Amino acid sequence: MAAQGPVEVPRGLAGVVVTETALGDVRGLEGFYHYREYSAVELAATRTFEDVWHLMLVGDLPSATDSAAFARRVSGLRRLPEEVAAALPAVARASASSGPMAGLRSALSLTGAAAGFGPLYDLTADQRRDDALLAGAVVPTLLAALYRLGQGLAPVEPRDDLGHAANYLYMLTGREPAPEHARAVERYLISTIDHGFNASTFTARVIASTGADLAACLVGGVAALSGPLHGGAPSRALDTLDEIGTPDRIESWVRERVLAGDRIMGFGHPVYRTEDPRSRMLKEIALGFGGELVEFAVEVERQVEAILAELKPGRELHTNVEFFAGVVMEQCGLPRSMFTPTFAVARVVGWTANILEQAADSKIIRPAARYVGPPPPVPVPAA
């Protein structure tokens, strides 16, 4: 049979189905997304992070007994290999001007090497899952340590008795967090574990399709997530609030940016054509805390959506997850430089679930590109 030629697809592969998945989906027209068969937002409201982690990697929601056993298992994997802990000060110094996401790329590579991660192609399903659990458990430890080292502080050892979110906040600050802050961050983390075939998840799966080791796949995912058009937006959304400053400046600031064709960080989404359910949930959490920042954010949301509806009629442009995520994380005491890294704390679980699913398929992902350069062949000029 003759080889099939290239097939023309939309720019950015928008809407192109490249594989099948049992992990979840995003239904943008409805404003709904799910992990396996469950609403992701409902899971965030009713379950722990560890329970949803179990759902994604094992395939089902655990019973109370299994939940406790799984939480014990992953909490016991939080400590870093000695070689990695010893190298982190140098990694933090090297990435001082770039931040923890840049350091995480190096730290993940080092962790995979120290832990002996082998090529996915050569491992059994159980071995792959073991590597996935270790990676998900140590990413918060790596990020918290890199942040503290960057601030001239000693890393804080993880605690086995705290849940995933509470332990992360503890390692960042050195203080046990207030329960309401830990739960707010936990709900945020659950809501961002996975979200369809986004850029970072697709990147991780492309690398997994080559049979590379799990750390290599995660480094690719981290690199994609760090971009301002993907996970790098929560702090920028808060920067927007700072730049606007006061309620009386909202309308003039927004009109000027929209008419100039500028992007307003925290608004719009490539999939949703209605309200982002993650934003709705995070807004409710923010309102529960209250305060001037929340009131200002809600007023900015109202006016931005009204102005966008006026100037861009027919388009559904609402707040996305980054807008109120930044507000919630600010209320919970997270430094802005750790907003995108906190996104990675959650998304690493989704990446690893996708990596495991991709590793079960031996077909390499190898698309084509349309050449648009000068017509070949042209004779090579003499030197």
Q: Which of 17-26, 79-88, 177-186 has the lowest mean pLDDT?
A: 17-26
Q: Which of 22-36, 136-150, 186-200, 229-243 has the lowest mean pLDDT?
A: 229-243
Structure letter (DSSP) for residue 379: P
Sign, CA dihedral 238-244-246-251, equals: negative
Catalytic residue flag (residue 269):
yes
Q: What's the burial of 52, exposed, middle or buried (CB within 10 Å: 0-12/13-18/19+)?
A: buried
Looking at residue 270, its pLDDT comes to 65
| CATH number belonging to the domain at 233-332, selected among 3.90.1180.10, 1.10.230.10, 3.20.20.100, 1.25.40.10 | 1.10.230.10
DSSP annotation string for 27-96:
ETTTTEEEETTEEHHHHHHHS-HHHHHHHHHHSSPPPHHHHHHHHHHHHTT-SPPHHHHHHHHHHHHHTT
Looking at residue 11, its pLDDT comes to 81
Q: What is the pLDDT of residues 301-316, one digit of tens each?
A: 898 888 888 888 877 7
For residue 359, pLDDT over 90 is answered with: yes
Cα distance between residue 51 and residue 43, in whole Å: 9
Looking at residue 273, its pLDDT comes to 67
Helix (H, G, I), strand (E, B) or coil at 26: strand
Angstrom distances, CA of residue 211 to CA of 135, 208, 255, 332, 380: 17, 5, 49, 39, 38
* Degrees, nearest 5: CA angle 243-245-248: 125
Taking the domains of the chain in order of start, what are their residue ranges?
Answer: 36-228+337-360, 233-332
Tokens of 213: 């080791």
For residue 33, pLDDT over 60 is answered with: yes
Q: Which is more confidently placed, 240 or 71?
A: 71
Q: Which is more confidently placed, 370 or 59?
A: 59
- Whether the full predicted model's pTM is greater than 0.85, yes or no, is yes
Q: Which of 50, 186, 301, 322 is catalytic?
A: 322
- Residue 376 Rama label (left phi>0; alpha psi -120 to 50; beta): beta
pLDDT band at 4 (very low <50, low <70, confident <90, very high): low
Please state, as a whole number, how many other Cβ atoms lie within 10 Å of the Cβ of residue 98.
11
Q: What is the mean pLDDT of residues 30-52?
A: 95
Tokens of 136: 């998900």
Looking at residue 237, its pLDDT comes to 78
Percent composition of the chain: helix, strand, coil (DSSP 3-state, to 5): 60, 5, 35
For residue 1, pLDDT over 50 is answered with: no
Looking at residue 19, its pLDDT comes to 87
Tell me the backbone φ, ψ of residue 201, rounded to 5 degrees: -65, -45
Looking at residue 236, its pLDDT comes to 76
Cα distance between residue 131 and residue 215, in whole Å: 9
Q: Which of 54, 181, 195, 269 is catalytic?
A: 269
Contact 104, 200 (CB under 8 A): no
pLDDT band at 293 (very low <50, low <70, confident <90, very high): very high
Q: What is the mean pLDDT of residues 37-52?
A: 97
For residue 38, pLDDT over 50 is answered with: yes
Chain centroid to Cα 74, Å, comes to 19
Q: What is the pLDDT of residues 169-221, one digit of tens each?
A: 999 999 999 999 999 999 999 999 999 999 999 999 999 999 999 999 999 99
In the CATH scheme, what is the homologous superfamily, with its name and number, of domain 36-228+337-360?
A: Citrate Synthase, domain 1 (1.10.580.10)
For residue 3, pLDDT over 60 is answered with: no
